[in-house]
Structure 1
Amino acid sequence: MSTFLFATLDAGGNVPPALLIGGELMRQGHSVRFIGHPAQASTIETTGAAFIPYRSAAPMTPTVERPALRDIAMMLSVFTDPGIARDLISEARRDPPDLLVIDCLLLGALGAADREGLPYVSLVHSFYAFLDGPFRRNPISVMARLKGVGPRQVTRGAELVLVCADPALDPAADDDDAGRVVWAGAALDVAGPAVRPEHPHVLVSLSTTAFAGQPAVLQRILDAVADLPVDATVTTGPAIDPDRLTAPPNVVVHRYVPHTELMPHCSAVVGHGGHATTMRALAHGLPMLILPMHPMLDQPMIGKIVQEAGAGLTLSRKSSGAQIADALMTILATESYGAAAAVIGDRLRAAEGARRGAQLLEEAAHRSAA
């Protein structure tokens, strides 16, 4: 059996794919431990994996809203954090794993593993077309490249770039990278499609990370739903206090309810275009209305891809309540959106992305040990 050390960060949707793949590895008898931000301890330990907190990491406060420039500065600080890199290398030296599995956003840690000559994999939790496209060209990556830890620089020595995304949706899946970039499929724990209720029920969930203006967007969605013939459940996550919102009678607001409990009984999902939530909704066969919250992240690309696949619509975050209401009713009233989402859902579930991801990591660990 092999030993795996996952390096992660407290950024929301990046965590579930790593946990699901780690869980599959443990079920196969492998040893799995995670190193991450202290706030992640309980989430990771509930899976049965060992957890080591970063001790030298710069502060990360993903649930605190901040101006755009400070937001960019925070992301650059975390993604290239030398403290995270030092802690990872220290843990790898203390108890050497057969393979390091490093979140693709931890550019500094990836670069450190490369310099140390350790066997490592970059774990991509969204479309590779974003990571190797808009992300590589945005200000964060440009500044990281000047530090010697640009996205391509830090994966040159990787055993594998493991993409936890559906290759049929990822525009980059046809690119030739000499087999080094491999698609496992979206890592999900969805057993079957949703059973849509007779009276439409909509799940509304924006990011667990705080983005500027997010409470106002969420309130506009609530106002849009107020006069529609639907019921809705809203999950605000840690970034927004439910008391800041005014909910109409047909809406219930919670800070947190697992989406695994809600989506099987929904008709559609209104989201921000985060890869994890979007793929979970589509895996349930649910059409989507997407309002991207951050122009520099993967959300606009994901919204565009979902719309082009016919499984939903995408609106600007600045859309009016009337525009949101019209789009949502169009999705609910037009059978083609649900049909397209159902086809994608069947494919996502059949791919068993978490199991395939674990298998690819097993193979990479064996190669590195040979």
Structure 2
Amino acid sequence: MSAFLFVVPPLTGHINPAVGVAARLTAHGHRVAWVCADPALVRRLAGADTEVFGCAGAVPGTAGAVRPPDLRGAEALRFLWEWYLLPLADAMAPGVHAAVAEFRPDVVVSDQQAFAGALVAERRGLPWATAATTSAEFTGAYDGLPKVAEWLHRRLAELRARIGDPSAGADPRASPHLLLVFSTPELVGPQAPLAPHIHYVGPSLAGRPAPSGFPWEWLDHGRAKVLVTLGTANADAGGRFLGECLVALRERADRVQAVFADPGGTLPVPPAGKDVLALPSVPQLALLARADAVVCHAGHNTVCEALWHGVPLVVAPIRDDQPVVAGQVVDCGAGVRVRFGRVTAPRLGEALDTVLHDPAPRAAAARVRTAFRAAGGARAAAAHLERLAGESR
């Protein structure tokens, strides 16, 4: 049997896809451990008995990692790298070294944004795989932006000189040994890179504990169900948008019910009724199995989870990879894009009516669903990792 060390940032959307893969490997008798700056978060998502090596690193919401909510575009990208991703890699590196020395993995599985995992493995001569929890960087996102691409290249070269092997040259975001992309070309689009070491495994949804206490009896089977969520990291930016959604959905209360994920408590408590439910957290996967549409920020996980269930989307990207993922949704025909900062309730209502009543977005979502389910998810990802471990012996 082999040993696999998962290196992840302290972000729910980056840990969740790896949870099912790790569970598969464990079920096959392999040893699995994790490195993360927030061990409690990993154990909450992967199970209380999960072996986690702690390390230093900023956790969202702590000093040094708080991003102004109004940052967009290139400014938001620069902030993400300079104030989060690069410092996170520097801070995590000693803990990753210590975990490698103690756990002695055969393969390091490094999240796409946990650069320390890739660079420490590189420095210690270990095979490493990339877990690509967003496909945005594989779609030519920086084409036409040569200055941005060069700036990122310089920052990564400087980081490699500090914590990696200065003589190596692989991009720590994309392993030359094994690149697992939790999507498929049917969503990524025609620019999806192809190579023998690149495997599109689709969403990894297995093995996640679901929050309890959701009032399932509240759902009215005679009305369409809409899930509204901005993910776990956008509570500071979503007040106005969620308010417009609330107006649009209440105007359709005779035929639509809405469930809002509202971790920041930004929505006013809705009056008693059967049209809207707002909760700090929701059992998203279970709800998607019953949903007719999703309104979201175009976060990669939420989009892929919705399309796994064949649910069309209204996407309102905020920043980071979200505009690229929103473009994927629109280009494949599975949804409608609106402007997060300026959209009004009437425009949201139009977009909702389109994805609820026009058969084209639902048919496109069904095509992506078929591709996702054929790709293999956690099962396929685990098999590729087992193969890499076997080749490294």
TM-score under structure 1 normalisation? 0.86
> Which moves more between the two structures, 125-134 or 312-321?
125-134
How far apart, in 2, do the equivalents of 1:246 and 1:75 lie?
36
Q: Structure 1: how far apart are the matches of 2:374 and 2:81?
A: 35
Structure 2: how far apart are the matches of 1:94 and 1:73?
34
- What residue identity is the alignment partner of 1:160? L
Deviates more, 1:301-310 or 1:179-188: 179-188
1:132 & 1:212 partners in 2: Cα distance?
Answer: 29
Q: Report the 3-state secondary structure (helix = DSSP H, G, I; strand = E; otherwise coil) of the residue aligned with 2:97.
A: helix
Does residue 120 of the first structure (1) align with residue 119 of the second (2)? no
* In 2: Cα distance, 1:263 partner to 1:25 partner: 26
Instruction: Give the CA deviation at 1:103.
Output: 0.5
Q: CA deviation at 1:262?
A: 1.2
Identity %: 25
Shift of 1:210: 2.7
Contact preservation (8 Å) 1:65, 1:211: no
Give the aligned partner of residue 73 of structure 1. 79
Partner of 2:47: 46
- Tell me what 2:283 maps to: 258
* Closer/same/farther in 2, CA of residues 138 and 227 from structure 1, 3 Å limit: farther
TM superposition shift of 1:332: 0.8
Cα deviation digits, residues 95-148 of structure 1 (max 9, x gap): 211110011112243223212222211110121644764399469835623524
Alignment-derived partner of residue 2 in structure 2? 2
Give the direction of change, closer, same or farther, for the CA distance of 1:72–1:156 in structure 2 (3 Å limit): closer
Deviation at 1:300, TM superposition (A): 1.2
Task: For structure 2, list consecutive stretches of 5 or more residues without a partner in the other structure.
Answer: 162-168, 208-218
Distance 1:335 1:155 in 2: 38
- What aligned pairs does 1:140-289 form with structure 2 within 5 A after superposition? 141-142=152-153, 144-145=155-156, 147-149=158-160, 153-154=171-172, 158-171=176-189, 175-177=193-195, 179-189=196-206, 197-210=221-234, 213-228=237-252, 229-237=255-263, 240-242=264-266, 244-245=267-268, 247=270, 249=273, 250-289=275-314
Counterpart contact for 1:82–1:109, Cα < 8 Å = no
Distance 2:362 2:76 in 1: 39
CA contact (8 A) 2:138 2:192 kept: no
Q: Distance in 2 between matches of 1:172 and 1:319?
A: 29
Distance 1:253 1:12 in 2: 20
In 1: Cα distance, 2:251 partner to 2:58 partner: 46
Larger mean Cα displacement after TM superposition, 112-121 or 154-163: 154-163
Quickly say closer, same or farther: Cα 1:223–1:156, change in 2 above 3 A. closer
| Aligned equivalents of 1:286, 1:366: Cα separation in 2 | 38
Query: What is the deviation of 1:16?
Result: 1.4
The amino acid of 1:278's aligned partner reads: V
Q: Shift in Å at residue 47 of structure 1?
A: 6.8
2 CA distance for matches of 1:108 and 1:234?
36
Cα offset, 1:152, TM superposition: 5.1
Letter in 2 for 1:208: T
Given the superposition, is the C-alpha separation of residues 263 and 156 from structure 1 closer, same or farther in structure 2, using an over 3 Å criterion? closer
Match of 2:323 in 1: 300
Normalised TM-score (structure 2)? 0.81
CA 1:365–1:315: 2 relative to 1, 3 Å: same
CA distance in 1 between counterparts of 2:98 and 2:78 reads 28
When residues 161 and 76 of structure 1 are mapped into structure 2, their CA distance, relative to the original with a 3 A threshold, is farther
Distance verdict in 2 for CA 1:313–1:215, change over 3 Å = same
Is the Cα–Cα contact under 8 Å of residues 15 and 42 in structure 2 kept in the other structure? no
After TM superposition, give the deviation of residue 3 of structure 1 in Å.
0.7
In the aligned structure 2, how far is the partner of 1:337 from the partner of 1:30? 41
Point out where structure 1 has 5 or more consecutive residues left out of the alignment: none
CA gap 1:301/1:102 in 2 versus in 1, 3 angstroms = same
Q: Which one-letter code corresponds to 2:68 in the other structure?
A: R
Instruction: Please report how far the alpha carbon of residue 172 of structure 1 lies from its aligned counterpart in structure 2 after TM superposition.
Output: 6.1
Report how many residues are paired.
Answer: 358
CA contact (8 A) 2:108 2:128 kept: yes
Give the secondary-structure state (helix, strand or coil) at the position aligned to 1:202.
Answer: strand
RMSD of the alignment, in Å? 3.0
Q: Deviations over 1:217-266 (max 9, x none)?
A: 122211221211311000123xx125x43546421100011112211222
Structure-1 residue corresponding to 2:142: 134
Q: After superposing the two structures, state which structure 1 stretch, 106-115 or 314-323, moved more.
A: 106-115
Cα offset, 1:357, TM superposition: 0.4
Measured in 2, the distance between the counterparts of 1:210 and 1:219 equals: 14
For residue 323 of structure 1, give the secondary structure of its aligned residue in structure 2: helix
* Distance of aligned partners of 1:27 and 1:309 in 2 relative to their CA distance in 1, 3 Å threshold: same
